[in-house]
């Protein structure tokens, strides 16, 4: 293996592979040779059609402007995720992006809300500008509410992942990336156990200094060639199947994703401009595949326009996502169900992590260990947030949900739940993806009301506190009324 890292080989295309190629080419096109091998025999899974806000930053870095992105990918705006029947069967709440209310000094807003002794949890969302806009079906690029020192709207997208991959592929083509359309049939290791070269079906062998595995759950490099073990999360995340199907577009196009709980799992609805993405995530322990498919098809808002596709998975992660001279990203590195739309975000953060730790010369143990440490922490933090939704359910129907209420939790999650329940406190861990506001909305939305709040919230009198909350609520309602309809924004 060379002392210098000169040649990077990406195995696998799709949205994730081309995201990686696009960012690497943007940052290293003058110093590295980048090749991407893509097999026409392998299709993408088609569940990565909803994102979270950091994708906008990723596009900005690549120089993809929002107007072009929305037009080319038939995208719509996403302001949050609506959860139906996750707490109690009849209840609904939203994990809305962005901030809630206004912090005062070092005291988070929600402590003032808790001190007001709200009679219902739903009133928390009176102080979310994102929620107000989403529920009204409105959107505009408002980064700040003028003169009020309040944040504006924070948005992500629903989009056609295949079209996004095509957009990125064109960027890569312009940057001079080598695109090889072929299938890997053999992986050759050197004496130190590093990957030396790949043999392809119809093309000459390709050598590289660093290989990035995007071969999906097959794990062609990280698993089949290098034998890296897999750490399963299935004792907490019990769903292991998903059906995905596209249906006709529905109008008006709502600016949020829907996650609808069923007795054996949950269903997603993702509204794009030209169609709706649908899927059913479920546990094969509680329903068979054919019955799950029929349940999905019978619960579509619009007519199906594709054949349903089945994905089987085990939630969890590779114990090492960087081993020897191979980095696994995407499905080859692990899988967390798409409940909070983190699949593409995990790809994005893995690429950024790699660019920060990419060696100039020899791959060193310190670099690899740090990459793996950060990757493990990120997977476990997102894992805990997804488990939270299941653990706090109050549903009366479905053995799945009863098991989830009774299961033992990771200690990291148990500590977070106990701290909030006893004091109302939430603290974001270093580099953690999900904010305090995200954790707060799921906990309150699913019925966990803390027994206490920060005593600093009592520095206001009850009258002052009520006036503070009332004014905030009125401001959000006023500015929401001025927003244009979501579809009008898309047409512009």
**What are residue 145's DSSP bridge partners?**
150
Q: Please tell me the number of Cα atoms within 13 Å of 340 on its side-chain side.
A: 27
What DSSP assignment string belongs to 170-223? HHHHHHT-EEEE--EEEEEE-TTS-EEEEEESSS--EE-SEEEE--GGG-IIII
Considering only CA atoms, which of 152, 229, 224 is closest in space to residue 476? 152
CB 125 within 8 A of CB 80: no
Q: Is the peptide bond before 252 cis (omega within 30 degrees of 0)?
A: yes
CB-based contacts of 193, cutoff 8 Å, min separation 6: 226, 324
User: Cα(461)–Cα(56) distance, rounded to whole angstroms?
Assistant: 41
DSSP letter at 428 equals P
C-alpha dist (Å) from residue 393 to 136, 389, 402, 452: 27, 7, 8, 22
CB 486 within 8 A of CB 77: yes
**Number of CB atoms found within 10 A of residue 163's CB:** 18
CB-based contacts of 430, cutoff 8 Å, min separation 6: none
> SS3 of 80, please?
strand
Q: What distance lies between CA 143 and its chain's CA centroid?
A: 22
Considering only CA atoms, which of 345, 164, 318 is closest in space to residue 231? 318
Among 26, 56, 78, 88, the one annotated catalytic: 78
Burial grade of 298 (CB within 10 A; 0-12, 13-18, 19 or more): exposed
Q: For 407-461, where are the alpha helices, taking DSSP H only? A: 411-423, 436-445
User: Cα(80)–Cα(96) distance, rounded to whole angstroms?
Assistant: 4
Please give the helix or strand (H or E) that residue 245 lies within, else none. strand 241-248
Q: The tokens of 199 are what?
A: 């043999």
78 belongs to the catalytic site: yes
Instruction: List, by residue number, the catalytic residues.
Output: 78
């Amino acid at each position: 293996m060379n002392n210098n890292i000169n040649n990077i080989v990406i195995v696998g295309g799709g949205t994730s592979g081309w995201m990686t190629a696009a960012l690497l080419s943007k940052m290293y096109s003058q110093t590295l040779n980048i090749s991407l091998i893509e097999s026409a025999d392998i299709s993408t899974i088609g569940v990565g059609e909803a994102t979270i806000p950091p994708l906008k930053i990723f596009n900005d870095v690549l120089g993809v402007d929002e107007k072009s992105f929305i037009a080319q990918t038939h995208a719509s705006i996403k302001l949050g995720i609506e959860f139906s029947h996750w707490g109690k069967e009849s209840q609904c709440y939203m994990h809305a992006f962005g901030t809630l209310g206004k912090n005062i000094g070092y005291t988070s807003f929600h402590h003032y809300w808790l001190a007001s002794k709200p009679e219902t949890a739903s009133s928390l969302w009176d102080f979310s500008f994102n929620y107000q806009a989403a529920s009204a079906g409105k959107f505009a690029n408002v980064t700040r509410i003028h003169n009020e020192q309040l944040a504006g709207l924070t948005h992500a997208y629903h989009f056609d992942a295949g079209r996004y991959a095509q957009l990125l592929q064109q960027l890569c083509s312009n940057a001079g990336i080598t695109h090889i359309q072929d299938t890997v049939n053999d992986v050759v290791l050197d004496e130190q156990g590093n990957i030396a070269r790949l043999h392809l079906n119809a093309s000459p062998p390709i050598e590289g200094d660093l290989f990035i595995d995007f071969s999906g759950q097959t794990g062609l490099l990280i698993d089949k060639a290098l034998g890296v073990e897999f750490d399963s999360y299935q004792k907490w995340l019990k769903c292991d199947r998903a059906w995905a199907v596209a249906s006709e577009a529905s109008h008006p196009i709502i600016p949020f994703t829907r996650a609808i709980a069923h007795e054996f799992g949950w269903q997603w609805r993702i509204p794009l401009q030209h169609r709706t993405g649908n899927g059913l995530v479920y546990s094969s322990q509680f329903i068979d595949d054919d019955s799950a498919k029929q349940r999905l098809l019978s619960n579509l808002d619009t007519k199906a326009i594709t054949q349903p596709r089945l994905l089987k998975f085990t939630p969890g992660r590779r114990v090492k996502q960087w081993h020897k001279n191979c980095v696994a990203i995407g499905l080859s590195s692990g899988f967390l169900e798409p409940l909070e739309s983190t699949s593409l975000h995990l790809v994005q953060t893995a690429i950024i992590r790699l660019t920060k730790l990419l060696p100039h010369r020899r791959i060193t143990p310190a670099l690899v260990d740090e990459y793996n440490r950060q990757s493990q922490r990120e997977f476990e933090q997102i894992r805990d947030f997804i488990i939270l939704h299941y653990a706090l359910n109050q549903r009366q129907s479905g053995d799945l949900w009863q098991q989830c209420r009774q299961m033992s939790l990771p200690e990291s999650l148990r500590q977070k739940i106990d701290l909030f329940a006893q004091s109302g406190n939430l603290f974001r861990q270093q580099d953690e993806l999900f904010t305090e506001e995200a954790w707060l909305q799921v906990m309150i939305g699913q019925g966990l009301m803390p027994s206490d709040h920060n005593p600093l919230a009592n520095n206001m009198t009850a009258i002052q506190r009520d006036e503070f909350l009332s004014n905030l609520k009125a401001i959000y309602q006023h500015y929401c009324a001025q927003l244009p309809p979501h579809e009008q924004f898309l047409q512009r």
